[in-house]
Amino acid sequence: METITRRKFIQLTSATGIFLAIGHLPDASGKGKLVSRLTSDPSRVDLNQFISIGTDGSIVLFNHRPEMGQGTYQSIPMILAEEFEVDIDKVEIRPSPANAELYGSQMVVGSRSMQSEFEKLRKMGASAREMLRQAAANTWKISIEECRATKGTIVSKSGDVLTYAALVVEAGKLSPPENPPLKKREEFSIIGKPVARKDIPLKTNGEAKFGIDISVPGMLYASVERSPVFHGKVKGFNKDEVLKMPGVRHVLQTTREVYGQKREGVAVLADNYWAALQGREALKVEWDAQDLEKVSNETILADSYEAAKTEGDELFNKGDVKSVLTNAEKIIEAAYETPYQAHVPMEPMNAIVSVTDTDAEFWGSTQNPNGIRTFLAKTYQLPEDKVRINYTFMGGGFGRRSMTDVAEEAADLSKKSGVPVKVIWTREDDQTQGPFRACSLNVCRAVMDKGKVLALEHKVIAQEIVNQTGPNMKAGRQIMGGINTEYLIPNLAVRGILRKRHVPISYWRAVYHSTNPFAHECFIDELAHFAKKDPLQFRLDMLDNPRYRRVLEGVAEKTNWKTPTKKGIGRGIAVAERSGGYFAMVVEVVSRNRKIVPVKITTVIDLGICINPDTVKAQTEGSVVMGLGAVYNGLTVQNGAIAEHNIDSYPMLKINECPEIVTHILDSDAPPDGAGETGLPTVAPALLNAIFDLTGKRIRKLPLDLAKIV
């Protein structure tokens, strides 16, 4: 079998001549259209940009969404293989090139890959299958209806068989059908089955390549010293002294942009990473902190509580909450605090970039390959076809790798030094420089009437990712993410109060769904207790959305909710929707050795058609682990900087601290929804509701030390 490198594939698919591609490309209306071209490569025929067949019968399916552990490496080929009628175990999977014209968006954020790509990928697989069926029909001089595709072959009614390899050249001459017939769900033989992921062996035997593993000829390594106080400006540094150190080639000032703010740094470029790191440690940089060292957790929290006294901006409104609150005899009120959180990907941030006067090239792990391509093209005034993107597996992303800032540093240093540059962040860089998940204050107020919620107001006081700079102080709908406005409360309002701080924030797994549901679902629990009602039934009584009801009823059944628990066990419930997926969670806790311990977490999920149940369960388990970490840990701002420099002071969840996690996936005919963040929004509220059930103590501030509750 011929091996085609990624670079060779880009060259082939960029060539004019005979290349056939069927793809969803953006047109003027933004709706997309099908286009086709032909390839001149004699050894393979690319039936489309997702499917390549060799004359030896080898089949390559391309995954166009970067793999960071979420499972697209396997799930996308599964969808293609289902309609293309090939054995998923007998195909080769490769990452596609970064090419928005061929693939549309390739960004992996918000658990959107299955939602946005499912129908398109089915159509791609089905179109290629139909071309092969037609080629067989032409060969046998029969109708296409007499030809059946199965396991990489076409079989006629009379029993004649032709392989895809034997037909692909002729198939490549045909026009692809624009609306090929798709299989019925009951005909699926791959989708919905627990298929072993092909990337797992590569990641366990050392064969998989991550961005940090890559090197290119002639490159220098760079380590960048940045101000511990965000927004710090470089006043001076000992360049000449550091340049005398072994292996050091350049000492250069550099910048990167973080949501409109320029972040300055001083980079040491050297022959190897150790020399770059040693040079950086010898740097003596004088910083202008611009008085931001006065900012701390205490000042941020005080500012948030003061801001909470204002009315804020209306993000959602039903009924007349203000009037009910004004005339109420009793208002139930609670405030919930959440800290900044670090992304802590296993693979620290890194990028290799080469920039010349005529072209640019990137190597590394990214959630946003075309974003980097566009950034390099615009910044260095290059045509996009002169910018090559080589993306790898990611050792975790969680939203952090959706940004282009690290590539910006590497590109700037490459342009200044004239060689490819590899920037590697240390763990301390990752911990202290961010961007982070935003801290927040949530203030909830409600009025009850005869055991029902008459009115509820939820205020979110927080930074907003998309509005971190400039004079606009109006809160946007982004910061209300995760607040369930489907509760049947006659008077319901969500208000946002925007704060702009010097601490940089960005997308973190589940984004605002990782903070707001903590407040909202804990407060709903408090209202249920006030009404003296079962907290699960209390929610069911306020929800008519059938998917919310399915998961709540499902988790009640799976946990025997209606059966009283044994003495010494506390149970908590929470429900949420994220990226179209609905999920309900029950956490069980006990008191052990004078410490509260979560012992079992059960999640019931409705995410439409499930592509690979094993992947969904793995993602749910990962979400739970990350959610627990966010309950137990938080970043502290001291003297304008982050105090926790590494995982010794910001520890990850240990295996012996992880409770039993059980995931149940409900059968559904609905289109696929997101699964990459399933479960995370409900971890904090379900856990704290369980602690209340066991101890009678309401906890409204995170992080939480379980040993200090009992």
CB 598 within 8 A of CB 587: yes
Could you tell me which residues come within 8 angstroms of residue 269 by beta carbon, excluding any fewer than 6 positions away?
220, 221, 222, 248, 249, 250, 251, 252, 276, 413, 417, 421
Question: 3-state SS of 666-694?
Answer: CCCCCCCCCCCCCCHHHHHHHHHHHHHHH
Domain 6-204, CATH number (from 3.30.2000.10, 3.90.1150.10, 3.30.365.10, 1.10.150.20)? 3.30.365.10
Q: Which amino acid is at 41?
A: D
Cα(13)–Cα(22) distance, rounded to whole angstroms? 12
Instruction: Report which of 115, 110, 108 is spatially closest to residue 481, judged by C-alpha positions.
Output: 110
The number of residues making up the chain comes to 710
Query: What tokens were used for 598?
Result: 């979560």
Instruction: Report which of 567, 548, 530, 521 is spatially closest to residue 688, judged by C-alpha positions.
Output: 521
CATH tag, 298-339+437-708 = 3.30.365.10
Identical fold between 6-204 and 298-339+437-708:
yes
CB 633 within 8 A of CB 341: yes
Q: Which amino acid is at 319?
A: G
Among all chains, which residue has been given the structure tokens 């902190």? 289
Q: What's the pLDDT at 16?
A: 25
Cα(529)–Cα(257) distance, rounded to whole angstroms? 47
The gap between the terminal CA atoms of the chain, to the nearest Å, is: 64
Query: What tokens were used for 432?
Result: 């202290």
Could you tell me which residues come within 8 angstroms of residue 176 by beta carbon, excluding any fewer than 6 positions away?
20, 22, 34, 36, 48, 127, 128, 130, 131
Could you tell me which residues come within 8 angstroms of residue 163 by beta carbon, excluding any fewer than 6 positions away?
57, 152, 153
Could you tell me which residues come within 8 angstroms of residue 512 by beta carbon, excluding any fewer than 6 positions away?
438, 440, 460, 462, 478, 479, 480, 481, 482
Question: What does the angle CA 199 – CA 102 – CA 28 come to, to the nearest 5 degrees?
Answer: 140
Q: At what angle do helices 405-417 and 369-379 cross, to 10 degrees?
A: 40
The H-assigned helical ranges of 85-163 are 100-103, 113-140
The dihedrals phi and psi of 672, each to the nearest 5 degrees, come to -60, 145
Q: What's the pLDDT at 43?
A: 76
CA distances from 87 to 46, 92, 186, 188 (A): 18, 11, 18, 12
Among all chains, which residue has been given the structure tokens 């009951």? 186
SS3 298: helix
Could you tell me which residues come within 8 angstroms of residue 367 by beta carbon, excluding any fewer than 6 positions away?
66, 68, 107, 108, 109, 394, 397, 399, 401, 402
Predicted TM-score (pTM) of this structure = 0.93
Instruction: Report which of 351, 491, 475, 488 is spatially closest to residue 407, judged by C-alpha positions.
Output: 351
Among all chains, which residue has been given the structure tokens 């701080």? 501
The pLDDT averaged over each successive group of 10 residues in the chain (710 residues) is: 37 30 33 33 84 92 95 96 97 94 93 93 97 98 98 97 96 92 97 95 95 97 97 97 98 96 96 98 97 96 98 98 97 98 97 98 98 98 97 97 98 98 97 97 98 98 97 97 98 98 97 98 98 98 98 98 94 97 98 94 97 97 97 97 97 95 96 94 98 97 90
Side-chain half-sphere of 300: how many Cα atoms within 13 Å?
Answer: 29
CA distances from 130 to 75, 487, 691 (A): 22, 47, 57
Residue extents of the structural domains in the chain? 6-204, 211-289+349-424, 298-339+437-708
Q: Which amino acid is at 496?
A: G
Cα(484)–Cα(575) distance, rounded to whole angstroms? 9
Instruction: Report which of 121, 192, 109, 126 is spatially closest to residue 607, judged by C-alpha positions.
Output: 192
CATH tag, 211-289+349-424 = 3.30.365.10
Q: What's the pLDDT at 168?
A: 95
CA 609 to chain centre: 20
CA distances from 102 to 25, 33, 35, 119 (A): 6, 11, 10, 16
Instruction: Report which of 681, 645, 687, 685 is spatially closest to residue 509, judged by C-alpha positions.
Output: 681
Instruction: Report which of 662, 614, 617 is spatially closest to residue 194, judged by C-alpha positions.
Output: 614
CB 391 within 8 A of CB 64: no
Q: What's the pLDDT at 8?
A: 36
Q: What's the pLDDT at 41?
A: 56
Q: How many CB atoms lie within 10 A of CB 399?
A: 23
